[in-house]
């Protein structure tokens, strides 16, 4: 039976870079953020979001993700409400994806909120990617159209590296991408032995 490995880390840690590296090695990687964006286009999910958050966050029937993000990162209870809509849809999508990838000995599930969502209990092993906070902030500010204040709200909504590391089987510190890839290779060797 296929083993499912969780891959997580805070925003800007480089977990997506590690996920892309795994794909380049031929491993199937399910990216929960991409899946979240996909399921948020499903009619039943759109309807549930309208019912919970109103129509003000829609422009011409299209969800304004920035407006929704502003609400949920300023009000933690609203984030929980959104997660209660989106997470079940992502879980169902992942189940279908997993059925399609049964031929691989390992698949990876990449998510920033693996622990926060409670889904970490469903994985055979968990890898956490870490980086110093200021490095993470610099990476995200260069990559995304956000400001430091909004970014810090998003970071505060996630677990700390220390909390993630305490529940992980393997840790990759991502200060240098080549060294981080070598660390991932090391994990893959350990995985094949066990």
In DSSP notation, 145-174 reads S--HHHHHHHHHTS--HHHHHHT-SEEEE-
Sort strands 58-59 and 3-8 into parallel, antiparallel or unpaired. Answer: unpaired
Per the CATH hierarchy, to which homologous superfamily does domain 3-193 belong? P-loop containing nucleotide triphosphate hydrolases (3.40.50.300)
Paired tokens of 143:
């990559």
Which positions make up the binding site?
12-17
Contact indicator for 8, 117 with CB cutoff of 8 Å: no
Write out the two tokens for 190.
């350990």
Q: What is the mean pLDDT of residues 53-71?
A: 88
Residue 35: the pLDDT is 94
- Among 4-18, 132-146, 166-180, whose mean pLDDT is lowest? 132-146
Identify the band that residue 18 occupies on the pLDDT scale cut at 50, 70 and 90. very high
Q: Which of 63, 33, 60, 57 is closest to 45 using CA atoms?
A: 63
For the chain, percent of residues with pLDDT exceeding 70: 99
Which has more confidence, 163 or 119?
163
d(CA 87, CA 36): 8
C-alpha 23/C-alpha 10 separation (Å) is 20
Q: Which of 20, 10, 23, 18 is nearest to 106 (CA)?
A: 23
More confident residue, 147 or 185: 185
Q: Angle CA(12)–CA(127)–CA(100) in degrees, nearest 5? A: 100
| Model confidence pLDDT, tens digit, residues 109-134 | 999 889 988 888 889 999 999 999 99
SS3 110: strand
Per-residue DSSP letter, 3: E
Binding site per annotation, positions for ATP: 12-17
| Position 194 pLDDT exceeds 70 | no
Q: What pLDDT, in 10s, does the model give residues 64-107?
A: 988 898 898 888 889 889 989 999 999 999 999 999 999 999 99
């Amino acid at each position: 039976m296929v083993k499912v490995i969780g891959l997580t880390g805070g925003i800007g840690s480089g977990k997506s870079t590690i996920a892309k590296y795994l794909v380049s090695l031929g491993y199937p990687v399910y990216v929960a953020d991409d899946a979240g964006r996909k399921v948020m286009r499903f009619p039943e999910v759109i309807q549930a979001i309208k019912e919970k958050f109103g129509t003000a966050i829609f422009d011409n029937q299209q969800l304004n993700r920035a407006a929704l993000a502003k609400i949920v990162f300023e009000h933690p209870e609203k984030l929980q409400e959104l997660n209660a809509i989106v997470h079940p849809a992502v879980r169902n999508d992942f189940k279908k994806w997993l059925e399609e990838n049964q031929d691989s000995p390992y698949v990876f599930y990449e998510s920033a909120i693996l622990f926060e969502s409670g889904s970490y209990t469903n994985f055979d092993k968990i890898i956490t990617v870490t980086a110093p906070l200021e490095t993470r902030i610099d990476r995200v500010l260069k990559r995304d159209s956000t400001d430091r204040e909004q970014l810090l709200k998003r970071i505060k909504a996630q677990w700390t590296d220390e909390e993630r590391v305490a529940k992980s089987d393997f840790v990759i510190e991502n200060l240098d991408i080549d060294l981080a890839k070598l660390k991932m290779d090391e994990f893959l060797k350990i995985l094949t032995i066990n």
